[in-house]
Amino acid sequence: MEENDDPLIVRMGTFFMVLGAGSFFLFVTSDLAGKVDFDYLFIAMVLLGVGWYFRRKKAPPPASGRFSGIKAMLSKRKKGGDEKKEAK
């Protein structure tokens, strides 16, 4: 996947996903009203697909390091267990 740092594309993807969600809401309300209009469903699927395609180019967030203390403690514990096995 190619790296794209353009925030406009990501924002457009979010916009299309919101429009797709709104169109899906219109489909559900038309179903509840008793007069189902499948055009809203197909428009929602297309908009959500295009929005996902644009949105997937967003870079993943950086690691927060939230569990670094636990990981360090587990690695020390594992390393200590390996040394005990080698000593036997």
Asked if 44 and 20 count as a contact pair (C-beta separation under 8 A), the reply is yes
Give the model confidence (pLDDT) of 29-49 as tens digits.
999 999 999 999 999 999 999
Mean pLDDT over each residue of the chain, to the nearest integer: 84
Global confidence as pTM? 0.62
**Domain residue limits, the chain:** 7-87
Supply the pLDDT for residue 1: 45
pLDDT at 5 over 80: no
Q: What is the pLDDT of residues 6-27, one digit of tens each?
A: 788 889 999 999 999 999 999 9
Helices (H), the chain: 7-32, 38-55, 68-87
